Each structure stands twice: as C-alpha cells, then as structure tokens.
Chains A and B, each alone.
Chain A
Amino acid sequence: MNCIIIDDEATSRTIIGELCSNYNNLNVVEVFSNAIEAIKYLNQNETDLIFLDIHMPDFNGFDFIRTLKNPPIIILTTADADFAINAFEYDCIVDYIVKPIKPKRFSKSIQKVEAKFNEEISRATSKKNNPSVNDDFYVNINKRLIKIDIQSIYLVEAKGDYIYLKTDNKNYTVHSTLKKIEEKLPDHMFLKIHRSYIININRIIDIEDNSVLIEKDIVPVSRSNRPELMKRLNLL
C-alpha cells in the first residue's frame, strides 16, 4: 500500500515513518508538513492510505478530508482524544491513534487498514463479476433512454452499425457496437462465441457441433471461441 504522512511536527513524521518501515506492505511515498501541499499532491497522484494529523495550523485534518472527492483510507493521528467522536462521521477513517504512537497500537491500526483495504478490493472485484439483480444500463433508442436489466439479456447480435439485443421482455435495436456492449456485461455471465454474437451462457439449452440453442435462437459458434465456451460449461 502506498501511503503519505501529513503532520506539521517533524518529530511525528519521523516516528510514523519509522513505524511504517517495519511493514513490508507499507510504502511511504511522500511526507507533508501541511495539508495544502498534500492536496496539491493528491490532485496529481493517488494513494492508498493517509496518516493524518488533526491539529494543524490554518487547515486542520477534518478540513483536509472535506476537500477530497474520493478519500483513501485514513488513520488520524493526534495528541488529543477529544476529536475521536468527529471521526465517526467519515467512512474513510479507519482508526484514531493518540500520540505518542506505540508500536503495538500502530500494529492494530495497520491490521484494520489491511482488512478495509482487502474488503474494498474484494467489493470492486465482486461488483465486476457479480452484478446485483438491479444492475442495468441505459440504451438510447429514438431519443429515449431505456433501461435494460442485464440479467434479462440472453443474446446480443451485431448487425452492421447496430446491435440487436434480445431480452426476456422485449428486443431492442441499438446504434452501438458489440465491443461497447461487451464492456458493460459481466464476464462470468456473458461470452462472445462468434464475431457477431454474445450470449448469456446461463441461458444455453443445448450445443450441437458449431451452434448453440439459446432460448429459441440457434447461434453459430466460431472455431476459435469454442474451447472457451466448452471450458465455461459445467460438464458432467
């Protein structure tokens, strides 16, 4: 995890840097003595974790957090326990450590960060691979934006500059490309089996030679895509 330290006390920055050096997965990329410099840095760069002092002149730690659109994981470091209650207002704050920071207390804090970090990675992966029942996208048809429930799609066919979307409820002709729609569809559910066809593999009824029966449509399977299709089937 890349991290930055923001603290107006050199002593604190040195101590936190030393504590971080005991962890192979923590990489202190930058240290800042004021929040303004850190904001400038974060406008150009990303970080996974911030060690943030609350009590700084001019621009305190909470002011700083409010400037961030997508705050990373934050550990507050402070000489006061008084501000702890404010920390609960921010989801990005995983811990609140009172100075002087003891190695054991720091270790607990890093465990919390790791748990949160892994949880976020897992959530992002899960969202890509397992869309919820409500996951959908909108298509533009005759100047109307129509919501398409992803799980209702069983076949997508490319037809020149258009794609033909077949769903449980209705079929749609949309001005788009197979490549564009492929990006919107979850990998675990959909597979391109031919240069002109994407199918919902959960809807396959049977496969015969180089074609697939999906609902009432017979769809060709290209020779190059057949191995991947066979791999994805739950064969007995």
Chain B
Amino acid sequence: MEDQPNLNYINSLSEGDKSFEMKLLAIIKKEFKQEKNTYYNNTKNNNFKLCAENVHKIKHKISILGLEKSYEIAEQYENNLREGNYELQNKFSDILNKVTNYLNKL
C-alpha cells in the first residue's frame, strides 16, 4: 500500500505546542518549495551531482512527513544520481507531487 504523509513526527516533537508546529511547517513548506525548484532546474541542466544534493535535502522532509517507502525510493534515487543515471526519476517526481499536495492542504 502506498504510504501517506502525516504529522506524527512533528506532533511528537511539539508535544502539543501549536505555535511550534506552525513555525516548523512554515519552514518546511518554504524550504521544500525552494529545494524542489532547484532540483528541477538541475535536472534540466543534467547536473547529476547537484541533483543528488537536492534529493539528499528533500529526503529529510520526506522522512519528517512519515513517508517511509518514499524515503527508500528517494535514497535509492540519490544513489542513482551519484552514479550518473536518472533511474527512479519518475517515481521521485510522484513523491514530490504527493508532498506538494499535502503541504498545500495544510
């Protein structure tokens, strides 16, 4: 079954502190958007090394949102990029869309 994003980790950190949750989510939204845009720009330029760096940063957000299976795909994709290939690119794009949709609804 496909994993779904959730706020379990953030809730465990905040222990009910709503202002912290809001603050952290605002930072995640902003940073995720920047990292995603940078990643897509780097894919256009076929810069594998920089793409791998972007995926590395993005995968932390994926794990924060509880997407364990997606995290594994992102990790494998990062390794593929370091080896100079785009295998799993489409799956990773799907993950980015899933996270984007989820963050937009929050």
What is A's interface to B at a CB cutoff of 8 Å?
Answer: 8-12, 14-15, 18-19, 55, 57, 79-80, 99-100, 102-103
Contact in complex: B13, A19 (CB < 8 Å): yes
How many pairs of residues, A versus B, come closer than 8 Å at their CB atoms? Answer: 43
Chain A positions within 8 Å of B20 at CB level:
18
Q: A18-B24, A19-B13, A100-B9 in contact; A9/B53 too (CB < 8 A)?
A: no
How many chain B residues touch A (CB < 8 A): the figure is: 19
Contact in complex: B64, A10 (CB < 8 Å): no
- With the chains together, A187 CA to B20 CA distance in Å? 51
Contact among B24, B30, B57 with A15 in the assembled complex (CB-CB below 8 Å): B24
Contact in complex: A103, B13 (CB < 8 Å): yes
Chain B positions within 8 Å of A57 at CB level:
53
Confirm or deny: B69 has a beta carbon within 8 angstroms of a beta carbon on chain A: no
In chain B, positions 59-79 with a C-beta closer than 8 Å to chain A are: 59-61, 63-64
Chain A positions within 8 Å of B56 at CB level:
55, 79-80
Contact in complex: B13, A18 (CB < 8 Å): yes
Contact in complex: B60, A79 (CB < 8 Å): yes
Contact in complex: A15, B63 (CB < 8 Å): no
Give me 7 other A-B pairs in contact (C-beta within 8 A), A12-B60, A80-B56, A99-B63 excluded.
A9-B57, A11-B27, A18-B14, A18-B24, A79-B56, A79-B60, A100-B9
Contact in complex: A10, B31 (CB < 8 Å): yes
- With the chains together, A235 CA to B32 CA distance in Å? 72
Confirm or deny: B28 has a beta carbon within 8 angstroms of a beta carbon on chain A: yes
Query: What 7 pairs between A and B have smallest CB-CB spacing?
Result: A79-B60, A100-B64, A100-B63, A10-B27, A99-B60, A11-B28, A14-B27
- With the chains together, A55 CA to B58 CA distance in Å? 13
Contact in complex: A14, B63 (CB < 8 Å): no
Confirm or deny: B44 has a beta carbon within 8 angstroms of a beta carbon on chain A: no
In chain B, positions 1-29 with a C-beta closer than 8 Å to chain A are: 9, 12-14, 20, 23-24, 27-28
- With the chains together, A102 CA to B30 CA distance in Å? 22
Chain A positions within 8 Å of B9 at CB level:
100, 102
- With the chains together, A79 CA to B52 CA distance in Å? 13
Query: 20 A-B pairs, CB-CB below 8 angstroms?
Result: A9-B60, A10-B31, A11-B24, A11-B28, A11-B31, A11-B61, A15-B24, A15-B64, A18-B13, A18-B14, A18-B20, A79-B56, A79-B59, A79-B60, A79-B63, A99-B63, A100-B9, A102-B9, A102-B12, A103-B13
